[in-house]
Amino acid sequence: KAGVTQTPRYLIKTRGQQVTLSCSPISGHRSVSWYQQTPGQGLQFLFEYFSETQRNKGNFPGRFSGRQFSNSRSEMNVSTLELGDSALYLCASSLRTGVNIQYFGAGTRLSVL
Amino acid sequence: GENVEQHPSTLSVQEGDSAVIKCTYSDSASNYFPWYKQELGKRPQLIIDIRSNVGEKKDQRIAVTLNKTAKHFSLHITETQPEDSAVYFCAASIRGNQFYFGTGTSLTVIP
């Protein structure tokens, strides 16, 4: 069974631009969560999607948004990029919402110049 | 929201010794506590988890204990090996798949 797939693996953007990251969950998994990982703040929860609906949201500004498609694939968008948005963005998939084991993807490394 | 603290931030042990990493959480409603191992440049991988209705869980050389009264949980690795060297993260969940992570412990096992 294929694992969680994130694309692209690396991105370089400049301040003010926007970016879209993609996450394909494990086959059969319907919940996708997104996390931001930085050396200073560690792993911080962004949001969770299940059945195309946002179920939980972390403490991030509205520039961070996401969506989920009917095939459970999810995208995350960051608008008006700031230098501080440079991070590893990880998505994790679970069978369903509720408290479940999460399996992480390899992440997308975003650098904002 | 939930706050998870993790100690120590770095830990060095001799091969064959035991390693213990401790985490505390603030919200008594937290009910699921996973531990992840992240090797350099790799994705976090679940190594063990425990739910709030269980006090201890063991899987070969790895064990986790949970003290709900004190709101802390610990990871125990026995007979450490060089391949155990990695960053370990604890996490707590109150609801859904919203995990609150500790800041990580960098474990080095010295051969």
Over residues A9-52, the pLDDT tens digits come to 999 999 999 999 999 999 999 999 999 999 888 899 999 999 99
Query: Residue range B88-108: average pLDDT?
Result: 91
Of residues B78, B79, B75, B97, the one with CA closest to residue B87: B75
Q: Which pLDDT score, from 0 to 100, does residue B96 have? A: 72
Tens of pLDDT, residues B45-86: 999 999 988 899 999 999 999 999 999 999 999 999 999 999
Q: How many beta carbons lie within 10 A of that of residue B30, not counting itself?
A: 22
A82 Cα to chain B: minimum distance (Å)? 23
Quick check: B30 contacting A, CB < 8 Å? no
DSSP B70: T
* Residue numbers in A near B27 (CB within 8 A): none
Assess contact for A112 and A36: CB atoms under 8 A: no
Quick check: B49 contacting A, CB < 8 Å? yes
Cα A85 from Cα A82, distance rounded (Å): 5
Candidates A43, A56, A59; nearest CB to B96: A56
